[in-house]
C-alpha cells in the first residue's frame, strides 16, 4: 500500500504575520485619536445645539415680552385717542359754553356750581390725557428697545443655528 494519502483539501498553514511594535503602536494611537475626535465632534455638536436652544428660549421670551409691550401700547394709545375725543366733544359742547357764560354772569347759583363741576371734571380729563400721552411715549420707547433686543437675539440665534449646521455637516 501506499504511504499516507495526500490531503488535497488541506490548507497549508498560514504564516504568522510579522508584528512591528512601532506600527502597532501607531495603529493604536490613530484608533484612539479617531475615537477621541468623534467624541469631541459630538460634544461640540451638543454644545452648539444647547447654545442655540438657550438663545431660542431667550428670543422667544423677548418676543413674548415685546408683544405684551405692543398690546399695552395699543391699549394706551387707544385710551389717549378716546380721552382726546371726549375732551374736544365736551369742551365744544353748547351746554358747556352756556354754563361758562352763566358762570361769568353769576346770576344762577346752580349753573355756576354745574360749571365748576364740569370744569373740574374737564381738568381731570386733561390730566388723564396728559398721563396717557406720557405712558404712551414710555411704552413706545420700551417697545422700540425690546424690538431691538429681539432683533439682536434673532441674529445671534441664526448664527448659532448656522454653527449647529456647520458642525453637524462635518460628518
pLDDT one-digit tens code per residue, 55-111: 999 999 999 999 999 999 999 999 999 999 999 999 999 999 999 989 888 888 899
Side-chain half-sphere exposure of 22, counting CA atoms within 13 A: 0
Distances (CA, A) of 139 to 7, 70, 72: 98, 8, 7
Q: Which residue has the higher pLDDT, 78 or 13?
A: 78
pTM: 0.69
Question: pLDDT at position 5, please?
Answer: 56
Q: Residue 7: in which H helix or E strand, if any?
A: none
CATH 1.10.287 for the 27-168 domain, yes or no: yes
The DSSP element (H or E) to which 75 belongs, if any, is: helix 21-91
Instruction: Give the separation between CA 59 and CA 159, rounded to whole angstroms.
Output: 13
Q: What share of the chain is helix, strand, coil (3-state, %, to 5)?
A: 85, 0, 15
pLDDT at 18: 79
Q: What value does the mean pLDDT take over residues 115-131? A: 95
For 22-62, what is each residue's pLDDT tens digit? 999 999 999 999 999 999 999 999 999 999 999 999 999 99
Give the Cα separation of 94 and 84 in Å (integer).
Answer: 18
Among the listed ranges 1-10, 12-21, 59-68, 117-126, which one has the minimum average pLDDT value? 1-10
Q: Which residue ranges make up each domain of the chain?
A: 27-168
Amino acid at each position: 500500500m501506499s504511504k499516507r494519502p495526500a490531503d488535497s483539501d488541506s490548507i497549508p498553514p498560514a504564516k504568522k504575520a510579522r508584528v512591528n511594535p512601532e506600527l502597532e503602536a501607531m495603529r493604536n494611537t490613530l484608533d484612539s485619536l479617531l475615537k477621541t475626535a468623534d467624541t469631541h465632534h459630538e460634544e461640540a455638536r451638543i454644545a452648539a445645539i444647547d447654545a442655540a436652544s438657550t438663545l431660542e428660549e431667550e428670543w422667544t421670551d423677548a418676543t413674548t415680552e415685546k408683544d405684551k409691550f405692543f398690546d399695552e401700547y395699543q391699549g394706551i394709545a387707544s385710551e389717549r385717542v378716546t380721552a382726546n375725543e371726549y375732551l374736544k366733544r365736551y369742551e365744544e359742547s353748547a351746554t358747556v359754553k352756556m354754563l361758562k357764560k352763566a358762570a361769568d354772569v353769576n346770576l344762577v347759583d346752580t349753573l355756576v356750581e354745574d360749571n365748576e363741576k364740569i370744569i373740574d371734571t374737564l381738568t381731570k380729563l386733561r390730566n388723564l390725557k396728559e398721563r396717557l400721552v406720557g405712558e404712551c411715549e414710555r411704552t413706545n420707547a420700551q417697545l422700540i428697545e425690546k424690538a431691538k433686543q429681539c432683533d439682536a437675539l434673532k441674529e445671534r440665534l441664526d448664527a448659532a443655528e448656522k454653527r449647529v449646521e456647520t458642525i453637524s455637516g462635518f460628518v
